[in-house]
């Protein structure tokens, strides 16, 4: 039976905790912290009375303090209190109890989020992984109720592992997310289909970046199927993603010598980018230019010089127009394209004066010397021929 002192301490603890929560909700953090510290002192004293009840309250108080320090952007102290909370669950409470495992997983996630915000990706990855391990240890029913939290962890992991250039870990994160989407996406609803397509595109881009073209092509096709379906329902929302996906597929088909498929993908991608450029020329004009450049290169590799030069001239016209909008951004690209015209299509060397004039404006750029060398070489070569 409780003595009077214990009963009074319990009442005071409850009053302190309730007042602290009230001040925290009002963002009066200094007062809230002071009250939480006093409540924490009593909670620790009362552990001997009821370990599970007051142990849980200590965890709650430590998490509340961590949240306040997070709001104050004091991430080190926030992490410190989250870690104290972990210690309480493991040493005082039963960390195999389902409720406490949920709490641990959430605390690990919170710690990982704080490390991620400070760009401490290795530590962030470590705690996200610990949270995942806990979620994976749950029964299928319990895991199902947490799948959205798990999905968020996989999405964060894919980003931070890619930042660390960890191919396998990034791939594993994407695959984990795809496994969750497999259970979320249904034929009856379009919900999550755009997110699924985005994850597939990101995985394909990962393969593409690491020169695994065959795998990239397979995954891009899966993404493309969903994107085309979604595009039929909302034509304006998916143009950019479709254009990029088709462009990447065109590049992959070209390396695989599947030229018919490559040309088809280039043209479809170009159509989408042209539509986008008509709406926002300064934003998407450069994307159209890249397709023109790739098509010129594509036809040149096929020895179809007339078609190659056609797209090259389209490229020159487009860069000339874009250069009027932004000389600093497009001047060197226009100059480089003019040089290509002399190099590949026997265009007159007089055009090199225009290229040189454009280059002289950008003397601070690292590529200037290389472009000037090309001009001097071409002049020498052509003068020798003439």
The reply to whether 243 and 305 lie within a common domain is no
Q: Are 319 and 336 in contact (CB under 8 A)?
A: no
Distance CA(334)–CA(319), nearest Å, equals: 5
Q: What is the pLDDT along the chain (386 residues), one digit of tens a residue?
A: 468 888 899 999 999 999 999 999 999 999 999 999 999 999 999 999 899 899 999 999 999 999 999 999 999 999 999 999 999 999 888 767 878 889 999 999 999 999 999 999 999 999 999 999 999 998 888 888 899 999 999 999 999 999 999 999 999 999 999 999 998 998 888 899 999 999 999 999 999 999 999 999 999 999 999 999 999 999 889 999 999 999 999 999 999 999 999 999 999 999 999 999 999 988 899 999 999 999 999 999 999 999 999 999 999 999 999 988 888 888 889 999 999 999 999 888 888 889 888 888 876 666 788 888 888 888 877 665 44
In a domain, 219, yes or no: yes
Q: Which two tokens stand for residue 15?
A: 């009053």
The CATH number covering residue 228 comes to 1.25.40.10
Number of domains in the chain: 2
**Where among 279, 305, 329 does a domain terminate?**
279
Question: How confident is the model at residue 386, as a pLDDT?
Answer: 46
Distance CA(141)–CA(158), nearest Å, equals: 25
**Where among 256, 279, 302 does a domain terminate?**
279
Distance CA(100)–CA(107), nearest Å, equals: 10
- In the three-class reduction of DSSP (H, G, I as helix; E, B as strand; rest coil), residue 323 is classed as helix
The reply to whether 194 and 261 lie within a common domain is yes
In a domain, 327, yes or no: yes
CA torsion sign, 201 to 207 to 213 to 214?
Answer: negative
Cβ contacts of 227-234, under 8 Å, gap ≥ 24: 227/197, 229/193, 230/190, 230/193, 230/194, 230/197, 233/190
The reply to whether 266 and 346 lie within a common domain is no
The reply to whether 273 and 311 lie within a common domain is no
* Residue count (the chain): 386
Question: How confident is the model at residue 366, as a pLDDT?
Answer: 66
Q: Which two tokens stand for residue 303?
A: 């020895």
**Where among 246, 279, 312 does a domain terminate?**
279
Q: In this structure, how many other beta carbons lie within 10 angstroms of the beta carbon of residue 272? A: 24
The reply to whether 259 and 347 lie within a common domain is no
Residues forming beta bridges with residue 186, ordered by sequence position = 189
* Boundaries of domain holding 318: 292-386
Question: How confident is the model at residue 156, as a pLDDT?
Answer: 97
Cβ contacts of 222-228, under 8 Å, gap ≥ 24: 223/197, 223/198, 224/249, 226/193, 226/194, 226/196, 226/197, 226/200, 227/197
pTM of the model: 0.85
The reply to whether 267 and 354 lie within a common domain is no
The reply to whether 328 and 275 lie within a common domain is no
Q: In this structure, how many other beta carbons lie within 10 angstroms of the beta carbon of residue 321? A: 14
């Amino acid at each position: 039976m409780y003595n009077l002192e214990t009963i009074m301490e319990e009442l005071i603890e409850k009053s302190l905790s309730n007042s602290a929560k009230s001040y925290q909700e009002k963002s009066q953090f200094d007062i809230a912290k002071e009250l939480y510290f006093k409540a924490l002192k009593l909670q620790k004293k009362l552990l001997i009375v009821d370990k599970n009840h007051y142990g849980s309250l200590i965890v709650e108080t430590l998490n509340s303090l961590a949240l306040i320090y997070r709001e104050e952007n004091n991430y080190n102290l926030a992490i410190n209190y989250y870690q104290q909370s972990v210690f309480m669950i493991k040493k005082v409470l039963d960390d195999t109890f389902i409720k406490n495992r949920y709490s641990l997983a959430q605390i690990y996630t919170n710690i990982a989020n704080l490390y991620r915000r400070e760009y401490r990706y290795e530590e962030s990855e470590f705690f996200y992984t610990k949270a995942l391990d806990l979620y994976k240890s749950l029964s299928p029913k319990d895991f199902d109720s947490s799948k959205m939290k798990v999905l968020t962890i996989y999405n964060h992991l894919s980003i931070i592992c890619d930042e660390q250039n960890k191919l396998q870990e990034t791939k594993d994160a994407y695959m984990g997310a795809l496994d969750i989407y497999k259970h979320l996406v249904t034929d009856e609803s379009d919900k999550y289909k755009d997110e699924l397509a985005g994850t597939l595109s990101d995985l394909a881009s990962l393969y593409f970046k690491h020169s695994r073209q065959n795998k990239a092509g397979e995954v891009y096709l899966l993404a493309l199927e969903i994107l085309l379906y979604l595009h039929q329902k909302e034509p304006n929302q998916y143009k950019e993603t479709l254009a990029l996906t088709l462009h990447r597929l065109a590049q992959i088909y070209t390396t695989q010598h599947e030229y018919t498929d490559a040309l088809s993908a280039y043209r479809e991608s170009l159509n989408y980018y042209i539509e986008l450029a008509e709406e926002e020329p300064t934003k998407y004009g450069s994307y159209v230019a890249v397709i023109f450049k790739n098509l010129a290169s594509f036809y040149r590799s096929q020895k179809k010089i007339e078609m190659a030069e056609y797209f090259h001239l389209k490229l020159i016209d487009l860069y000339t127009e874009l250069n009027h909008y932004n000389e600093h951004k497009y001047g060197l690209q226009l100059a480089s394209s003019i040089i290509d015209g002399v190099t590949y299509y026997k265009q007159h060397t007089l055009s090199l004066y225009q290229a040189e004039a454009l280059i002289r404006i950008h003397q601070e750029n690292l590529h200037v010397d290389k472009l000037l060398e090309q001009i001097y070489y071409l002049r020498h070569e052509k003068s020798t021929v003439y």
